[in-house]
């Protein structure tokens, strides 16, 4: 069967973050878990297919960011025979999420963190399997292939599903909220802290297209067709974000001045693209992307500081 899209109602809104359910025969796998509060939605989708939690073989997280993996511990507890599949750099944080929790709480603030993610549970180490680039696993008669994809995060992989010629992209092929697709495709990158790398992100987009995938299963949000036609738009957005990072780095701005510069430039970039898409005076569209504008600006601010720190270190 084709993947089942599960709307996790992340941030309290529909159409923002998805998890996916794969069934092959009497086995199932989840791709992404979203947050602990979303786990009941995933289990309800599983029940709708006629399967029980004991039949879930794999729970797969594309990377360790908590809107993708925050519910992994709770979902693993509910699915006693499942193995968690993760990037080698993500697996240790699934086992001990303390650093990820602390980092997210710093980005969002304690109150918003609690509202978004609830409690993040660790996964027992013996139930976690790290997958290398090009590794494959079988789900029934289905073959899933894993591709390491840097740019958004260093602990990110994507999953190619040979059955549907589709790729589960996590955040590696950007964000395409359904509410923004009213007058044509709108897809933009996620440059959140702490690993944004524009060159690697460009390479990842090309690598995903090179799989020959006919469709993509975006975490944010849903199935999109014809990846090759979307890639140029995503490359343009990535180049624009990289230009903001470069200008911020060479400007000499520091501290709050740098943060304000990134916020202003990213907001202007989104405004330009929303105008081109006929969405600049749509209050729902503006409210929807406000979260991403803020996080992308934080990511570029962090990237500038990281570049400067690396240059300052003795060689």
Q: How far apart are CA 24 and CA 54, in angstroms?
A: 14
User: Tens digit of pLDDT for each residue in 190-206?
Assistant: 999 989 999 999 999 99
| Residue among 215, 272, 217 at smallest CA distance from 243 | 272
Under the banding of pLDDT at 50, 70 and 90, the label for residue 315 is low
Report residue 281's pLDDT band, with 50, 70 and 90 as the boundaries.
confident
Residue 212 has pLDDT above 90, yes or no: yes
Question: What is the layout of strands, in order, in the sheet containing 56-60?
Answer: 4-7, 18-24, 27-31, 56-60, 83-86, 128-130
Q: Would you state the pLDDT for residue 35?
A: 96
16: CB partners within 8 A, 6+ apart: 8, 9, 10, 177, 220, 221, 288
Q: For residue 94, is pLDDT > 80?
A: yes
Give the pTM. Answer: 0.95
pLDDT at 169 over 90: yes
Domain ranges in the chain are: 4-226, 230-312
Note the pLDDT tens digit of each residue in 128-149.
999 999 999 999 999 999 999 9
CB count, 10 Å around CB of 277?
A: 17
- pLDDT-derived band at 114 (thresholds 50, 70, 90) equals confident
Q: Is 118 helix (H, G, I), strand (E, B) or coil?
A: coil
What pLDDT is recorded for position 77? 98
CA distances from 144 to 21, 22, 24, 79, 191 (A): 13, 11, 12, 20, 27
Q: What is the mean pLDDT of residues 147-163?
A: 97
Residue 108 has pLDDT above 80, yes or no: no
**In this predicted structure, what is the pLDDT of residue 171?**
98
- Cα–Cα distance measured from residue 275 to residue 295, given in angstroms and rounded to the nearest whole number: 21
- pLDDT of the residue at 313: 79
Split at pLDDT 50, 70, 90, the class of 107 is confident
Name the nearest CA neighbour of 212 among 169, 167, 277: 167
Secondary structure of 142-191 as H, E, C letters = EEEEEEECCCCCCCCEEEEECCCCEEEEECCCCECCHHHCCCCCCCECCC
Q: DSSP letters along 180-234, please?
A: G-SSS---B----TT---HHHHHHHHHHHHHTT-SEEEETTTEEEE-HHHHHHHH
User: What pLDDT shows up at residue 305?
Assistant: 96
pLDDT tens, residue by residue, 219-271: 999 999 999 999 999 999 999 999 999 999 999 999 999 999 999 999 999 99
Q: How far, in Å, CA of 201 to CA of 239, rounded?
A: 10
The yes-or-no verdict on residue 308 having pLDDT over 70 is yes
The whole-number pLDDT of residue 242 equals 98
**For residue 36, how far is the Cα from the chain centroid?**
16
Q: Are 273 and 186 in contact (CB under 8 A)?
A: yes
Alpha-carbon torsion 75, 147, 67, 99, what sign?
A: positive
Per-residue pLDDT at 111 exceeds 90: no
The pLDDT, as a whole number, for residue 299 is 96
How do residues 24-70 score in pLDDT, each as one tens digit?
999 999 999 999 999 999 999 999 999 999 999 999 999 999 999 99
**How far is it, in rounded angstroms, from Cα 36 to Cα 109?**
18
Over 90: is that where the pLDDT of 105 sits? no
State residue 276's pLDDT score: 93
**Lookup: tokens for 129:** 């399997």
Give the pLDDT of residue 88.
Answer: 98
What is the rounded average pLDDT of the residues 266-279? 95
Chain segment 15-37, per-residue pLDDT in tens: 999 999 999 999 999 999 999 99
| Cβ neighbours for 278, distance < 8 A, ≥ 6 positions apart | 182, 183
Q: Quick one: DSSP state of residue 116?
A: H
**What superfamily would CATH give domain 4-226?**
Ribonuclease Z/Hydroxyacylglutathione hydrolase-like (3.60.15.10)
């Amino acid at each position: 069967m084709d993947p089942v899209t599960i709307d996790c109602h992340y941030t309290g809104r529909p159409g923002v973050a998805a998890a996916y359910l794969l069934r092959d025969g009497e086995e199932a796998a989840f791709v992404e878990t979203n947050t602990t509060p979303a786990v009941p939605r995933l289990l309800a989708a599983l029940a709708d297919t006629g399967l029980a939690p004991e039949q879930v073989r794999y729970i797969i997280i594309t990377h360790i960011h908590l809107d993708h993996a925050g519910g992994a511990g709770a979902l693993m507890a509910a699915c006693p025979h499942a193995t968690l599949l993760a990037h080698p750099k993500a697996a240790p944080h699934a086992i001990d999420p303390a650093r990820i929790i602390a980092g997210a709480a710093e980005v969002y603030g304690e109150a918003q963190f609690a509202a978004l993610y609830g409690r993040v549970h660790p996964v027992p180490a013996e139930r976690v399997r790290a997958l290398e680039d090009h590794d494959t696993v079988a789900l029934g008669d289905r073959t899933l292939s894993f591709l390491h994809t840097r740019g958004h995060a260093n602990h990110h992989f994507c999953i190619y599903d040979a059955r549907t010629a589709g790729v589960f992209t996590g955040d590696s092929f950007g964000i395409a909220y359904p509410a923004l697709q009213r007058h044509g495709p709108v897809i933009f990158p996620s440059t959140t802290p702490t690993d944004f790398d524009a060159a690697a992100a460009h390479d990842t987009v090309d690598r995903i297209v090179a799989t020959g995938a006919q469709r993509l299963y975006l975490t944010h949000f849903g199935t999109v067709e014809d990846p090759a036609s979307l890639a140029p738009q995503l490359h343009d957005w990535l180049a624009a974000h990289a230009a903001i990072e470069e200008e911020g780095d060479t400007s000499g701005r520091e501290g709050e001045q740098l943060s304000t510069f990134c916020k202003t430039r990213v907001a202007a970039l989104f405004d330009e693209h929303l105008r081109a898409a006929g969405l600049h005076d749509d209050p729902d569209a503006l409210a929807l992307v406000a979260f991403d504008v803020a996080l992308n600006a934080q990511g570029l601010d962090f990237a500038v500081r990281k570049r400067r720190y690396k240059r300052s270190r003795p060689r």
